[in-house]
Amino acid sequence: MSPLKRYLPILDWGKSYSKETATSDLVAAVIVTIMLIPQSLAYALLAGLPPEVGLYASILPLVAYALFGTSRALAVGPVAVVSLMTASAVGELAQQGTPEYLGAAIVLAFLSGLMLVLMGLFRLGFLANLLSHPVISGFITASGLLIAASQLKHILGVPAHGHTLSEILLSITYHLNEINWITVGIGTGATVFLFWVRKGLKVQLLGAGLKPFLADVLTKAGPVAAVAVTTTAAAVFDLGDEGVRLVGDIPSGLPAPQLPPFDSELWLALAGPALLISVIGFVESVSVAQTLAAKKRQRIEPDQELIGLGASNIASAVSGGYPVTGGFARSVVNFDAGAATPAAGAFTAAGIAIATLFLTPLLTYLPQATLAATIIVAVLSLVDLGAVKRTYTYSKSDFTAMAATIGTTLFFGVESGVVAGVTLSIALYLYRSSRPHTAIVGVVPGTEHFRNVDRHAVITGDRVLTLRVDESLFFANTRYLEDRIYALVADRPNIEHVVLMCPAVNAIDASALESLEEINHRLSDSGVAFHLSEVKGPVMDRLKRTDFIDHLTGQVFLSQYDALCSLDPVTAHIAESRTPKKAAQSKVWAGPEI
């Protein structure tokens, strides 16, 4: 692929763009536009920004992704988690409703875009791997709960504030005597209606004889129906005078492109949050994009996705928007609606632009409780408490990282939650790596297979100790390996040979090489020869570039069976002459732990 096509994927898929493809993209764009209009308004509200900013963030970013993105179905725009992170980051620097707040949100989008583009150019997509799945799952679950709690004030019609669960709930409790019951009726009714639309409307429409496509469109239009009904009711009954908080006037027209304000102190203050938003947004987007691409046997380029998302955020900033990324629900809808190329996003942008030009006056009487209901229904689908139970059952250490992420996010804020999750994940990884799984192995009777003596019926001799290490050797775990070998030799006075079996060792760093040299030297002083077996080719190539092999007191064997036959032929003969027991055979293949 030429460099130009690599950085502009549109030059690749655009060559085969046809009328049929355009029709599929247009149909998908209509459905996503219907879904995106209320979501854009709601997520801007969640970010503490004027509602029109959500619309601005849904126009140029989609066009930019269509030019630079590689996913055929990813729908870019405002999303709940990034909106929450924006509110958390900007809320510490400026007051909501002020020009400084909006300016900081624009800078945040611009910085995030620059970081993503640079990460893509330098092929740093692997950095997202620092966020393990339990951490991401825990963060999204906690964010969903936090977002839902933050919208209760709009459902109840009370003033409240706070960036953590305890702050939000305490603030709402303090203002419970100010509940507006008309607002409660609107918010509760809209929430129940939207849950019903999501769970049951499509089934009923199909039962009534509607075609699946029409039923799907009507289901996706549920939030629009809620907006239309509650807005009409608020206008007809003048509910604003009854204390119901309305969206108010939304400026018509498209924003004039402009550069974000440059303030070195502001940029430095937002650099950390911008990096977190970039990484979280990229992980969420690339996960969705890869899942959808796999269904059609397509592929995406993660590093180019960084550039595509970066361009989208820069486009959002210059058009007066805030940070964006690929949304899960929106992308699935786009995929199911038949989107064939990223052009579907550009068509969606055109639809949002038309709405921004002509439809915003109709939203003046839109109750904020309706938008809050839209957010609550959307984010509660992100909450996966079942994943917490599954992770606890499978891995206590991963559960620890997940629980720490959830707890820290809920009670100390989103940024602290991400940092805690990443830090704990890395710490747990280093701890596990520093204590690699090792096993004394023996030969399975009648075979050339070697298995763990604690798990299988195997044969071992008194003269040869074979220790299998199941991880690459590096600075963090070499001390553990040294201590393990010395302790085993001390407990076995008849040992003449130690064989380090290395089928799972993919690398040996300089620190580990020094440890192997020290093991070789100390075993030699004890009259014990040190051998290696089943060393992988690349690892052996590196060892040969040193003098370690020359000083090795033993040999390097191609297989562990060769080592046993050479060092302890008596035991090898005994094992060869015996018929393997059925129980032993079943244990050998009972599971992945060998």
Domain assignment present for 189: yes
Alpha-carbon distance of 348 to 346, in angstroms, equals 5
Q: How far apart are CA 503 and CA 498, in angstroms?
A: 16
- pLDDT value for 581: 55
Buried b (16+ CB within 10 A) or exposed e, 83-113: bbbbbbbbbebbeeeeeebbbbbbbbbbbbb
Q: Which residue has the higher pLDDT, 455 or 298?
A: 455
Other Cβ atoms closer than 10 A to 387 = 16
Residue with tokens 């809050």: 372
Going by C-alpha positions, the residue among 58, 95, 46 that lies closest to residue 315 is 58
Residue 267 lies inside a defined structural domain of this protein: yes
Distance of alpha carbon 402 from its chain centroid, rounded?
Answer: 13
Torsion of CA 27, 29, 30, 31, to 10 degrees: 90
Whether residue 373 contacts residue 194, with contact meaning beta carbons closer than 8 Å, is answered with yes
477 and 407 in one domain? no
* C-alpha torsion angle, residues 185, 186, 189, 191 (rounded to 10): -120
How many residues are given for the chain? 594
User: Do 457 and 319 reside in the same domain of the chain?
Assistant: no
Taking the C-alpha atoms of residue 470 and residue 153, their distance in angstroms, rounded to an integer, is 53
446 and 413 within one domain:
no
Do 214 and 313 lie in a common domain?
yes
Residue 156's pLDDT is 95
Q: Give 368's DSSP letter.
A: H
Residues 418 and 442 occupy one common structural domain: no
DSSP 175-213: TGGG--HHHHHHHHHHHHHHHHIIIIIHHHHHHTT--HH
pLDDT at res. 288: 87
Residues 306, 390, single domain; the answer is yes
Based on the domain organization, do 402 and 474 belong to the same domain? no
- Structure tokens given for 233: 């009711």
Q: Identify whether residues 230 and 159 lie together within a single domain.
A: yes
Least confident of 288-297, 305-314, 457-466, 573-582: 573-582
393 and 451 belong to one structural domain: no
Q: Is the pLDDT of residue 435 over 50?
A: yes
Q: Where residue 338 falls among pLDDT bands split at 50, 70, 90?
A: confident
Band (334; pLDDT cuts 50, 70, 90): confident
Domain-embedded: residue 428: no
pLDDT at 445 over 90: yes
Q: How confident is the model at residue 582 (pLDDT cuts 50, 70, 90)?
A: very low
386, 497: one domain: no
- In which band, very low, low, confident or very high, does the pLDDT at 518 lie, cut at 50, 70 and 90? very high
The radius of gyration of the chain's CA atoms, rounded to the nearest angstrom, is 30
Residue 480 lies in a domain: yes
- Dihedral of CA 224/229/231/232: which sign? positive
> Which of the listed residues 423, 456, 491 is the one where a domain comes to its end?
423
Q: Which residues contact 76 (CB under 8 A, 6 or more apart)?
A: 61, 62, 65, 69, 285, 309, 312, 324, 325, 326, 327, 345
**pLDDT given at position 533:** 97
Counting the structural domains of the chain, the total is 2
Residue keyed to tokens 């994943």: 387
**Structural domain boundaries enclosing 532:** 438-587
- How confident is the prediction for the chain on average, in pLDDT? 90
**Residue 140 and residue 384: Cα distance in Å, rounded?**
8
Q: Name the residue type at position 40.
A: S
Q: Is there a contact between 539 and 506 (Cβ–Cβ < 8 Å)? A: yes
Whether 6 maps to a domain, the answer reads no
Last residue in a domain, options 360, 394, 423: 423
> In Å, what is the CA distance from 401 to each residue of 133, 141, 423, 436?
10, 13, 9, 20
**Residue 525 maps to which CATH number?**
3.30.750.24
The secondary element (H helix, E strand) that includes residue 229 is helix 222-236
Residues 410 and 452 in one domain: no
Confidence of residue 589 (pLDDT cuts 50, 70, 90): very low
Q: Which CA distances in Å does 37 have to 81, 135, 174, 389?
A: 18, 31, 33, 36
Rounded to two decimals, the pTM is 0.81
What string of DSSP letters covers 271-292? HHHHHHHHHHHHHHHHHHHHHH
Distance CA 490, CA 564 (A): 21
Within-domain flag for 592: no
pLDDT in tens, 502-512: 999 999 999 99
CA dihedral 422, 424, 427, 430 (to 10 degrees): -70
The domain boundary residue, chosen from 423, 453, 475: 423
Residues of the chain with pLDDT > 90, as a percent, come to 66
Token pair recorded at residue 69: 């993105």
Reading the block at residue 561, the tokens are 């069976």
Q: What is the pLDDT of residues 21-30, one digit of tens each?
A: 999 899 889 8
Q: What's the whole-number mean pLDDT along residues 318-323?
A: 96
- Residue 577 located in a structural domain: yes
Q: Alpha carbon of 297 to those of 11, 57, 290, 294: distances in Å?
A: 20, 30, 10, 5
The verdict on residue 294 lying in a domain is yes
Same domain, 115 and 214: yes
pLDDT digits (tens, 9 = 90+) for 190-234: 999 999 998 888 888 888 888 887 887 788 788 889 999 999 999
The token duo for 559 is: 């297989």
pLDDT mean over 243-254: 92
